[in-house]
A and B are shown apart, each in its own frame.
Chain A
Amino acid sequence: MDMLIPWTKVWAVVITGLVVVFLALVLLIIFVSIFGKVFSGIAEREKAKSKPADVPAVNITKPAAPVQVPAASAEDDNEVIAVISAAVAMMAAKDGKNYAVKSIKRKGNGRGQAGSVWGAAGQRENTLPF
């Protein structure tokens, strides 16, 4: 079959194309990496500023005993502790025993990916239909 395009032109298109596409996207990588670093730096500084020195102890009046929070740091931890304590209190009320929540530790990164079983199950349910 006769080729209508000379081989020199073919290679020119292929090489220019690949080089320019990579060049453009590498430029974007450099730019996005730099501004990503800047922004995560800013975010960390703000986080450090707003972080209190000690996490206040949480006292839950009834029926569970005081809760110690060794591994807590995020803002919503008080809520998490309250929810867990309430669940424990429900159980306690059912079988008539008193339980004390001594500590609550976060397992994994808490964001699903092999972290918590519930997170993983939720993610699986969201992505499985595909």
Chain B
Amino acid sequence: MNEVIQIFLDTLKDLGSSSGFGNLGWPNIVMILISFVFMYLAIAKKFEPLLLLPISFGMLLTNLPLTAMYTPELFADPTNIDFDRILHEGGLLDLLYLGVKLQLFPPLIFLGIGTMTDFAPLISNPKSFLLGAAAQAGIFLTFIGAAVLGFSETEAASIAIIGGADGPTAIFVSSKLLGAGAKISTGTIALAAYTYMALVPIIQPPIMKALTTKKERAVVMETLRPVGRTEKIIFPIAVTIIIALLIPSAAPLVGMLMLGNLLKESGVCDRLVKTAQNELMNIVTIFLGVSVGATTTADKIITAEFAKVIILGVIAFSIGTASGVIFGKIMYRVTGGKVNPLIGSAGVSAVPMAARVSQKVGASENPTNFLLMHAMGPNVAGVIGSAVAAGVLLSIVK
């Protein structure tokens, strides 16, 4: 009888030690709790839920021990990935993560964004491009901060791109530059980027108000000229040629963005437009979110480095906003008061949230002032600007 009980107890012990419960360490538990926090932010606070919810669930899955859904070792060397091994040994999330690692998903998301973007405000006021460029200063100035805090070149570039306030661009750059050996992961960058994008309406207004005078905020801008169909069709083609020739590494993002836009503006590809902006984009968003979330293993989040990324991320957003507004002030002076500097902050991208913030801050000064369309110019210019900045980072940071 004693022997039977012994066998029973031994079996229970074996089961226990080979189950997830037996392997649940405190880092896993902390990470699972953190994933709950992000799920809460996505569901209850509606922080970019379409991405933050899959990301936080990916975070949960990857931190449940022994599931082997995501295997960081398979992606250890970013320059030399053993695809054969991934296909043979990889789990579900390893295979999905290939879409991120091979840079497929972010450009496909850009394709969908292109079909939803109206470049007319930018075409009718091309000077908006300058504000979209100015707001990218947040990226490059944050690179200095990351360098000072002891990050390597590839890590610093991945952190800096958070300042572009553009999720797919941030994932595009960081997934290319970061290997499993880095102190941070693509998931870390995505978490910071999407959280701060959701916080744009809280981060930006104080900076905008501090840098502008009441008189500047009350400027009513001239009505934009109407833009013809031919112009709207030529624009995406021309931008692709100019940007791809100048910065070839920005071509995947800008090219797909402009393809999406051309499909929309051509007016003859309705079926493709519908697929790009709905089914394709939704499928890619799920794959992207859950696999990027899977890179947030405990050794990447419960570290001092993650805290630094969070701090540098908010600095990047703030500098981007400030430099956009300051450049807006310069344009206000140069044009003799025709440009409202508030539209400069929309240059950080984060479409259309940042433009809405410009509208809201402007309307709080003068309720009859409508800056929304004027702010959409720098806003969409910011998307092109961030993609260009991403291309620059990828070509100079090795």
Contacts and interface: CB of A to CB of B under 8 A. Distances in A.
Contacts of A24: 133, 242-243, 246-247, 388
Given A20-B392, A28-B129, A36-B124, A3 B370 contact: no
A114 B124 CA distance: 20
A112 interface: yes
Contacts of A23: 246
A3 B242 contact: no
B271 to A, nearest CB: 29
B122 A3 contact: no
Given A32-B123, A36-B123, A130-B359, A4 B151 contact: yes
Interface string B100-136: 0000000000000000000000111011011011001
Interface string A107-126: 00101111000001001100
A21 interface: yes
B222 to A, nearest CB: 8
A21 B368 CA distance: 35
How big is chain B's contact interface, by range? 35 or more
A29 B127 contact: yes
A13 B147 CA distance: 11
Contacts of B385: 21, 25
Contacts of B132: 25
A27 B242 contact: yes
A4 B150 contact: yes
A16 interface: yes
Contacts of B151: 4-5
Best-buried of A20, A21, A112, A113 by chain B (most CB within 10 Å): A21
Main SS of the interface on chain A?
Answer: helix
A123 B370 contact: yes
Contact of A25 (B228, B367, B384): B384
A74 to B, nearest CB: 13
B230 A39 contact: yes
Interface string A86-127: 000000000000000000000001011110000010011001
A50 interface: no
A25 B124 contact: no
A39 B300 CA distance: 53
A20 B247 contact: yes
A120 B220 CA distance: 13
Contact of A27 (B223, B246, B360, B381): B246
A5 B160 CA distance: 14
Interface in A1-25: 1-5, 9-10, 12-14, 16-18, 20-25
B139 to A, nearest CB: 7
A17 B390 CA distance: 9
B316 interface: no
Contacts of A120: 368
B384 A28 contact: yes
Nearest to B323: A18
A4 B152 contact: yes
Nearest to B133: A25
B372 interface: yes
Interface stretch (B5-13, B19-27, B233-241, B262-270): B233-241
A129 B247 CA distance: 39
Contacts of A14: 140-141, 143-144
Nearest to A15: B140
A25 B388 contact: yes
A13 B228 CA distance: 39
Contacts of B393: 13, 17
Given A21-B133, A25-B132, A27-B246, 19 more contacts: A3-B148, A4-B150, A5-B152, A5-B156, A9-B153, A14-B144, A17-B136, A17-B139, A18-B137, A22-B133, A24-B247, A25-B381, A31-B238, A32-B235, A33-B126, A113-B370, A114-B220, A123-B370, A127-B372
10 contacts: A3-B148, A4-B153, A14-B141, A20-B247, A21-B136, A31-B238, A32-B129, A43-B228, A112-B370, A124-B370
Counting from the closest, the 8 A-B pairs by CB-CB distance are A130-B356, A32-B126, A25-B133, A25-B129, A17-B140, A5-B147, A14-B140, A1-B150
Interface of B: 122-124, 126-127, 129-130, 132-133, 136-137, 139-141, 143-144, 147-153, 156-157, 220-223, 225, 228, 230-231, 234-235, 238-239, 242-243, 246-247, 356, 359-360, 363, 367-368, 370, 372, 381, 384-385, 388-389, 392-393, 396-397
